[in-house]
Amino acid sequence: MCGIFGCILTEGKAAPVIHAALKRLEYRGYDSAGEATIYDGHLYMKKDVGKIDQIHSHLNLDDLPGKLGVGHTRWATHGAPSKENAHPFVDCKDRIAVVHNGIIENFLELREGLEKSGHIFKSRTDSEVIPHLIEDFTAKGSNLAEAVRQVSQKLKGSFAIAVISVDEPDKIVCARRESPLVIGIQGKSLYCASDVPAFLPLTNKALFLEENEMALLTAKGVKVFSLKTGESKHFEISTITWSPEMAKKSGYRHFMLKEIHEQPLSLRNALRTQELYYDLMAATINSASRVFLVACGTSYHACLAAAYMFSKIAHIDAKSVEASEFIEHYGTILDRNCAVLAVSQSGETADTLTAIRFAKECGASILGITNVMGSTITRLSSVYIGQNSGPEIGVAATKTFTAQLVVLAKLAIKLAEKRGKITPPESKLLKKNLIEIPEIIETILSENEGKLKHLAEKYWNRSSVCFLGRGINVATVLEGRLKLLEVAYIPALAYPAGESKHGSIAIVEKGYPVIFVSPGGNAYSKIIGNIMEMKARGADILALIEKDDKEIKKLTDEYVEIQSNIPEIFTPIAYVVPLQLFAYYMAIERGSDPDKPRNLAKSVTVE
Ligand code: AGP
């Protein structure tokens, strides 16, 4: 999730306007930034690694000349944060500059073709193919807008781009597919940006580009075209009523809620990560005699679910371990035959780093899954995969948890294939089912948010809540509990449902809320028994069930329905979403700020 911006001004310099807009977009990414402008037949550009203030302090971003330009603030996906990998990117002749947000899935093959025909690349990013492709089309006679349209047909993946060219110095061409892009209109001055906050202090008139649309910005105004056919399209201008603070949250009251709603998008991005790294990671795990999945907090819950996935479909015994316990528990048996997969959103959690540093010294292979390219985990790992969630601002992990699960599920499928534990048709079906998950989450969000708000209104003042699940959904209930604990400060229990009768059932009394995560599948009949045990003691039964559930529905006081027949190993990805919403609305009902829970930090860098 990067931030892009472009502007054509009627008067004054574009560079300070771009700089200020990038500052307002910094919440979308902040590992490097850059600007390019056009003036008097030349392209001017400044970019570097670091936060915008740091870059500005040594480069002075404001002194580029010209009334027209583009800018970018980056959150690395392909290629670590560095000056070379910072946007804008230019063609071979330094005449075309492009800023891009999104992921170009087929960039390796495009780059190979371009290099063969003589193009020189300076970065390791996916984005750099775009100016070179545009260069080819303009060389063949297309104008800039047509070249952008042609190039878009060649790109697989997601993009929002803004393009400028010395040869057509009076225009910005922008286009989008699956990444957001909005045009700001202030009289004859025009802006394009990833998000409204970029230009909100300048204008509240906005044109939201639709999927597969492109726009041509010139001093004469805006024109919108279909990216597929080039046909001109009608558009409407909206008036934004959000305050700048609301705009940063896309109108949501809190970042946590915004990030819960971003999950369909963040999961699609997580699904885009590259096959090569899955292959390398699976090969390392497959050849290890012991496999450990190491993490803290929410990321540990992702590991717990992954251990079930690995066992269920790839027949691999992987131990999920809280990083803070790893050395004490397994320190004596670590050697070069071990593979340690560390999962960390931030890539900087001290307990996780200590665990993998120790394992590395013992000769173990270190693998990583993280949301922050360039973080310490990426440097300690021999192979790492970026989950592509974009910055998560709420302290409570939501979209990064489900993205970790998606990456781990893809890895489990790859392992199962490598080990011959699933047939090609089974693997194909699982991949298809996984690709469908973002849409299922869209439905969960649209159908159930009101219900979860209602449940929070009903249960907000309870002194405790218990979450129960079986099999892989033990991970889901642990995560549901952690969310409730950290944002609503309610002491909560979470157990494998079969364990509850060995102790925790003692606290159940009339009206005590017990939340069951109970999709169909292997555990179904057993979980009915667990529900009966709780019901017999007067508990209020709340259950997450499948839409065509027949039995559990009749036993509950409240239920939330989720699409039926999600493959069991993917159920945590969908079933955790209602629990995130429940925790969020419980926090709201109890008057706490879910974005900044007391005593917690986003990244825990002390042991
Ligand atoms: C999750 O909501 C928490 N804020 C916390 O448990 C977090 O998951 C944990 O600190 C691990 O962080 P990491 O993924 O950045 O390593």
- Cα(487) to ligand 1 centroid in Å equals 13
Does pLDDT of 78 surpass 80? no
602 is catalytic: yes
Task: Determine the pLDDT at residue 503.
Answer: 86
Task: Determine the pLDDT at residue 245.
Answer: 74
Q: Residue 146 is encoded by which pair of tokens?
A: 């047509």
Out of 2, 7, 174, 466, which one is annotated catalytic?
A: 2
- Cα(322) to ligand 1 centroid in Å equals 11
Q: Which of 269, 204, 210 is nearest to 28 (CA)?
A: 269
Q: Which residue's C-alpha comes closest to atom 6 of ligand 1?
A: 297
Q: Residue 434 is encoded by which pair of tokens?
A: 């996984």
- Cα(460) to ligand 1 centroid in Å equals 25
Measuring from each residue's beta carbon to the nearest atom of ligand 1, which residues come in under 6 Å?
A: 296-299, 344-346, 349, 352, 395-397, 486, 600, 603-604
Mean pLDDT, residues 440-463 taken together: 97
pLDDT above 70 coverage of the chain, percent: 100
Q: Provide the pLDDT confidence category of residue 415 given band limits of 50, 70 and 90.
A: very high
Task: Determine the pLDDT at residue 501.
Answer: 85
Does pLDDT of 598 surpass 80? yes
Of the residues 256, 343, 349, 600, which should be mutated to test ligand 1's pocket, given the most ligand atoms within 8 Å of the CB?
349
Q: Which ligand 1 atom lies nearest to the CA of residue 298?
A: 8
pLDDT above 90 coverage of the chain, percent: 85
Element of type H or E holding 39: strand 32-39
2 is catalytic: yes
Of the residues 304, 604, 607, which should be mutated to test ligand 1's pocket, given the most ligand atoms within 8 Å of the CB?
604
- Cα(88) to ligand 1 centroid in Å equals 32
Helices (H), 79-208: 107-116, 129-139, 144-154
Task: Determine the pLDDT at residue 449.
Answer: 97
Mean pLDDT, residues 39-61 taken together: 94
For 388-400, the pLDDT digits (tens) are: 888 888 999 999 9
Q: Which ligand 1 atom lies nearest to the CA of residue 370?
A: 14
Give the C-alpha separation, 47 to 292, whole Å: 40
The region that residue 230 occupies, defined by phi over 0 for left and psi between -120 and 50 for alpha, beta otherwise, is left
Does pLDDT of 2 surpass 90? no
In this prediction the pTM is 0.84
Stronger pLDDT, 499 or 244, i.e. the higher one: 499
Q: Which residue's C-alpha comes closest to atom 9 of ligand 1?
A: 297
Task: Determine the pLDDT at residue 374.
Answer: 78
Does pLDDT of 12 surpass 80? yes
- Cα(239) to ligand 1 centroid in Å equals 38
- Phi and psi torsions of 212, nearest 5°: 60, 40
Q: Alpha-carbon torsion 408, 490, 512, 582, what sign?
A: negative
CB contact burial 60-79 (16+ within 10 A = b; e otherwise): ebbebebbbbbbbbbbbbbb
Stronger pLDDT, 251 or 450, i.e. the higher one: 450
Q: Which residue's C-alpha comes closest to atom 10 of ligand 1?
A: 297
Mean pLDDT, residues 83-99 taken together: 96
Task: Determine the pLDDT at residue 463.
Answer: 94
Of the residues 256, 293, 294, 299, which should be mutated to test ligand 1's pocket, given the most ligand atoms within 8 Å of the CB?
299
Q: Provide the pLDDT confidence category of residue 495 given band limits of 50, 70 and 90.
A: very high
Instruction: Please provide the DSSP assignment of 526-585 as one string.
Output: HHHHHHHHHHHTTPEEEEEEETT--SHHHH-SEEEEE-TT--GGGHHHHHHHHHHHHHHH
Q: Which residue's C-alpha comes closest to atom 7 of ligand 1?
A: 297
Task: Determine the pLDDT at residue 275.
Answer: 87
For 340-353, the pLDDT digits (tens) are: 999 999 999 999 99
- Cα(535) to ligand 1 centroid in Å equals 34
Instruction: Please provide the DSSP assignment of 344-379 as one string.
Output: ESSS--HHHHHHHHHHHHTT-EEEEEESSTTSHHHH
Give the C-alpha separation, 331 to 210, whole Å: 54
For 269-288, the pLDDT digits (tens) are: 999 877 899 999 999 999 99
Mean pLDDT, residues 23-30 taken together: 85
Task: Determine the pLDDT at residue 180.
Answer: 85
For 380-390, the pLDDT digits (tens) are: 999 999 998 88
- Cα(181) to ligand 1 centroid in Å equals 30
For 232-256, the pLDDT digits (tens) are: 999 989 888 777 777 788 889 999 9
**Between 107-116 and 129-139, two packed helices, what is the crossing angle to 10 degrees?**
50
Please enumerate in sequence order all residues whose Cβ is within 8 A of that of 449, keeping only pairs 6 or more positions apart, or say none. Answer: 581
Instruction: Please provide the DSSP assignment of 497-541 as one string.
Output: GGGGGGTGGGG--TT-EEEEE--SSTTHHHHHHHHHHHHHTTPEE
Task: End-to-end CA distance of the chain: give it in Å, rounded.
Answer: 30
Task: Determine the pLDDT at residue 414.
Answer: 98
Mean pLDDT, residues 432-449 taken together: 97
Out of 51, 431, 458, 602, which one is annotated catalytic?
A: 602
Q: Provide the pLDDT confidence category of residue 601 given band limits of 50, 70 and 90.
A: confident
Does pLDDT of 605 surpass 80? no
Residue with tokens 């907000």: 460
Please enumerate in sequence order all residues whose Cβ is within 8 A of that of 236, keeping only pairs 6 or more positions apart, or say none. Answer: 207
Does pLDDT of 92 surpass 90? yes
For 133-188, the pLDDT digits (tens) are: 999 999 999 999 999 999 999 999 999 999 999 999 999 999 999 888 999 999 99
